[in-house]
């Protein structure tokens, strides 16, 4: 059902110097620094960059100490090491000592105190520090402006829940920096500010611009879907007023920040030559999503999502969109969607994908001629349209980003236990339902179709009924899906998603992306906030896998070869990777080339070794 709303086009508001820093109070700054230091202790210890020493046992807790190289500073804290070497640290217990004097926790000081252990150089440290400070600034803003508690979120809308998330990616320390935004941009464009905004539309000459879509969808149909007749006509008339033939142009929306900060400068020759024409704002208003460069239409919720190139540095990448990838993205989405929709098992689980149904890529010929290698400068002007999830729910159902399952509000209350309490199920039944709609489909995609996604919290939408997860919707297909079998026959236009993976690392698409990057933290939430035994959680995971294996005995060889019950797991290190190169962590065509590994994890599923048929 489509909602319409009367909204005026927002203008970028100006901030007074004082209002840009209103959230930076001493109390909030101390709070977010404490949380950031806790995360650093947890994740750097998990990746074996830091090695806290156990001093003594306090009941179920251990008292750990971590000293700087010169011995001047010592950190003390209470912790329990959970499954997958996850450090559950008592936030209030963290103390920074200089001799016998207690000092305030300072996340930036922590980085500089352990610079050598963390492997920083004079080259990469400044950018990383800027990202950490940006994360602290954003965290302080979110803590100062939180409107909905975890209990409130059990009844909140999809959009309100999306904008209430405050943690970012659970593995990465520098996970929510937006290097490139100034203070005004932050409050105009960040998802946590939740300020509706209108997108700028431009027209690209067909000599430089390519539209691609899933058949039989045409360019005219996309425009008719996304623009009302009056706005479409005004854009048409704008081109005519400039003496240009509208038939020679492709119209598409872009991020306002990109226009004002990048395109008017770097694309000035094309603008002067009328290859790129600014058409102005459209009427519809949008809210930025957790990924920052993706927008949800709040004026007409049935219209498509818009994802636009945004040349800011955010968690290891400049967030552009390649015009080359845009040419194949709809075909890839169509291929994946066809597999999903025609697979009986996936349909029984209700698993589906949000298709990226059409794209526009603009090629700046000056930059193409000047730069022969891959570069962010080639990814500054592209847009894609993605289906809206609102069309995929039934009456009585609602949507929630899976990232919400790890959400803890500023009062320290977790959302997951609140969801379970507000549902008709007990914890075990609720988790079983969740695993069936999340883990089971991903197992099938990997073992049956040699296909893996990037199924972290922000990339997956859960469908709830009575606050029980009943099915999952995967998004971000074009950039994230991969086929891990190089011998698999694929249509030529889809072949770019085949990635080279060493045979012994293929299983990491589950161990790393699902177990280490999500279940590790979900288990922590259950232990800390619901008192749920972690052994029971991992048993439920094991049971889910075993159920799948019994249903597909013909895949026994694959189950043995890619063994989810193996005693040990190679430890993949996200932060080591980001700190090595904070501007480009991975090569998308060969993601394992630069990957960082350190140590071995004990597999909590090994205790529940499946008996294969």
Residue 285 belongs to some domain of the structure: yes
Q: Which helix (H) or strand (E) holds 224?
A: helix 219-226
Residues 247 and 131 in one domain: no
The owner of tokens 């048409």 is 236
Residues 293 and 359 in one domain: yes
Residues 204 and 133 in one domain: no
Residue 463 CB burial class (10 angstroms; 0-12, 13-18, ≥19): buried
Q: Which helix (H) or strand (E) holds 91?
A: none
The number of distinct structural domains making up the chain is: 2
Cα–Cα dist 563/577, whole Å: 26
Measured at the CA of 20, the angle between CA 15 and CA 23, to 5 degrees, comes to 140
Cα–Cα dist 382/325, whole Å: 10
Residues 220 and 368 in one domain: yes
Question: Which of 317, 293, 295, 292 lies closest to 306 in space, CA to CA?
Answer: 295
Cα–Cα dist 125/192, whole Å: 27
Residues 222 and 91 in one domain: no
CB 306 within 8 A of CB 299: no
Residues 257 and 332 in one domain: yes
Residue 58 Cα distances to 65, 87, 133, 340, angstroms? 14, 16, 34, 50
Residue 399 belongs to some domain of the structure: no
63: left (phi over 0), alpha (psi -120 to 50) or beta: beta
Cα–Cα dist 471/481, whole Å: 19
Residues 356 and 234 in one domain: yes
Intervals of the chain under pLDDT 70:
1-14, 316, 581-595, 610-613
Q: What distance lies between CA 461 and its chain's CA centroid?
A: 11
Grouping H, G, I as helix, E, B as strand and the rest as coil, residue 469 is strand
Residues 288 and 358 in one domain: yes
Residue 575 Cα distances to 105, 171, 460, 579, 584, angstroms? 21, 7, 22, 6, 13
Residue 35 belongs to some domain of the structure: yes
Residue 253 belongs to some domain of the structure: yes
Grouping H, G, I as helix, E, B as strand and the rest as coil, residue 352 is strand
Per-residue model confidence (pLDDT) at position 168: 87
Measured at the CA of 365, the angle between CA 364 and CA 368, to 5 degrees, comes to 90
Residues 134 and 267 in one domain: no
Give the CATH number, domain containing residue 36: 3.30.310.280
Per-residue model confidence (pLDDT) at position 584: 56
CB 354 within 8 A of CB 477: yes
Q: Which helix (H) or strand (E) holds 128?
A: helix 125-145
Any idea of the CA torsion for 392, 394, 396, 401, to the nearest 10 degrees? -10
Residues 251 and 367 in one domain: yes
Residues 6 or more apart from 19 whose CB is under 8 A from it? none
Grouping H, G, I as helix, E, B as strand and the rest as coil, residue 311 is coil
CB 222 within 8 A of CB 385: yes
Residue 318 belongs to some domain of the structure: yes
| Longest pairwise C-alpha distance within the chain | 79
Cα–Cα dist 161/154, whole Å: 9
Q: Render 148-184 in DSSP notation, one character per residue.
A: --HHHHTT--HHHHHHH--S--SS-SS-S--BTB-HH
Enumerate the β-bridge partners of residue 294: 307
The owner of tokens 């007990």 is 426
Residues 121 and 204 in one domain: no
Per-residue model confidence (pLDDT) at position 613: 44
Parallel, antiparallel, or unpaired for β 356-362 and 382-386?
antiparallel
The owner of tokens 């800011």 is 312
CB count within 10 Å of CB 493 equals 14
Could you give phi then psi for residue 278, rounded to 5 degrees?
A: -85, 130
Question: Which of 555, 357, 362, 532 lies closest to 450 in space, CA to CA?
Answer: 555
Residue 574 belongs to some domain of the structure: no
The owner of tokens 């094991």 is 542
Tokens of 326: 């845009």
Residues 6 or more apart from 508 whose CB is under 8 A from it? 570, 572
Cα–Cα dist 97/90, whole Å: 17
Residues 312 and 370 in one domain: yes
Per-residue model confidence (pLDDT) at position 11: 46
Q: If you ran DSSP here, which 8-state letter would residue 546 be given?
A: H
Per-residue model confidence (pLDDT) at position 171: 93
Residue 395 belongs to some domain of the structure: no
Residue 317 belongs to some domain of the structure: yes
Per-residue model confidence (pLDDT) at position 6: 38
Cα–Cα dist 144/279, whole Å: 37
Domain that holds residue 377: 196-337+351-386
């Amino acid at each position: 059902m489509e909602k319409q709303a009367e909204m005026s086009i927002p203008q970028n508001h100006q901030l007074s110097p004082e209002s840009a820093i209103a959230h930076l109070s001493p109390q909030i700054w101390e709070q977010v620094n404490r949380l950031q230091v806790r995360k650093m202790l947890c994740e750097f210890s998990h990746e074996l960059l830091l090695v806290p020493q156990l001093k003594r046992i306090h009941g179920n807790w251990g008292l750990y100490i971590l000293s700087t190289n010169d011995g001047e500073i010592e950190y003390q804290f209470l912790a329990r090491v959970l499954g997958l070497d996850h450090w559950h640290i008592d936030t209030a217990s963290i103390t920074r000592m200089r001799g016998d004097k207690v000092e305030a926790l300072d996340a930036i000081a922590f980085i500089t105190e352990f610079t050598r252990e963390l492997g920083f150089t004079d080259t990469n440290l400044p950018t990383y520090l800027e990202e950490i400070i940006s994360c602290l600034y954003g965290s302080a803003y979110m803590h100062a402006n939180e409107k909905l508690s975890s209990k409130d979120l059990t009844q909140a809308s999809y959009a309100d829940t999306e904008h209430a998330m405050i943690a970012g990616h659970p593995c990465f320390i520098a996970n929510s920096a937006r290097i490139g935004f100034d203070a005004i941009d932050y409050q105009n464009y960040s998802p946590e500010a939740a300020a509706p905004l209108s997108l700028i539309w431009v027209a690209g000459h067909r000599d430089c611009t390519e539209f691609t879509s899933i058949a039989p969808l045409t360019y005219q149909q996309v425009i008719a879907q996304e623009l009302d007749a009056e706005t479409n006509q005004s854009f048409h008339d704008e081109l005519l007023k400039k003496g240009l033939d509208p038939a020679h142009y492709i119209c598409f929306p872009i991020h306002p920040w990109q226009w004002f900060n990048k395109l008017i400068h770097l694309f000035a020759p094309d603008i002067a030559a009328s290859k790129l024409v600014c058409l102005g704002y459209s009427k519809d208003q949008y809210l930025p999503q957790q990924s920052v460069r993706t927008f949800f239409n709040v004026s007409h919720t049935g219209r498509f999502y818009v994802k636009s190139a945004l040349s800011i540095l955010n968690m290891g990448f400049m967030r552009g969109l390649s015009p080359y990838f845009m040419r194949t993205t709809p075909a890839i989405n169509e291929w994946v969607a066809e597999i999903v929709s025609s697979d009986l098992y996936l349909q029984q689980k209700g698993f589906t994908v949000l298709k990226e149904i059409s794209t526009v890529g603009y090629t700046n010929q000056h930059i193409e001629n000047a730069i022969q290698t891959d570069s962010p400068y080639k990814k500054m002007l592209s847009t894609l349209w993605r289906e809206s999830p609102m069309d995929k729910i039934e009456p009585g159902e609602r949507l929630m980003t899976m990232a919400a399952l790890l959400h803890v509000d500023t009062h320290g209350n977790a959302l997951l236990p609140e969801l379970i309490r507000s549902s008709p199920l007990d914890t075990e039944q609720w988790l079983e339902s969740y695993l069936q709609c999340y883990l089971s489909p991903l197992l099938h995609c990997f073992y049956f179709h040699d296909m893996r996604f990037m199924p972290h919290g922000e990339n997956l939408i859960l469908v709830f009924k009575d606050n029980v997860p009943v099915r999952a919707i995967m998004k971000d297909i074009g950039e994230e899906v991969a086929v891990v079998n190089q011998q698999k026959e694929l249509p030529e236009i889809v072949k770019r998603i085949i990635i080279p993976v060493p045979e012994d690392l293929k299983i990491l698409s589950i161990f790393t992306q699902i177990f280490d990057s999500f279940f590790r933290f979900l288990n922590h939430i259950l232990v800390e906030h619901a008192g749920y035994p972690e052994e029971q959680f991992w048993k439920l995971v094991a049971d889910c896998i075993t159920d799948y294996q019994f249903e597909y005995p013909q895949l026994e060889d694959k189950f043995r070869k890619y063994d989810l019950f193996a005693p040990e797991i190679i430890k993949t290190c996200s932060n080591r990777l980001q700190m090595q190169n904070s501007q480009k962590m991975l090569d998308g065509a060969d993601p394992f080339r630069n990957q960082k590994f350190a140590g071995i994890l004990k597999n909590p599923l090994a205790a529940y070794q499946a008996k294969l048929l």
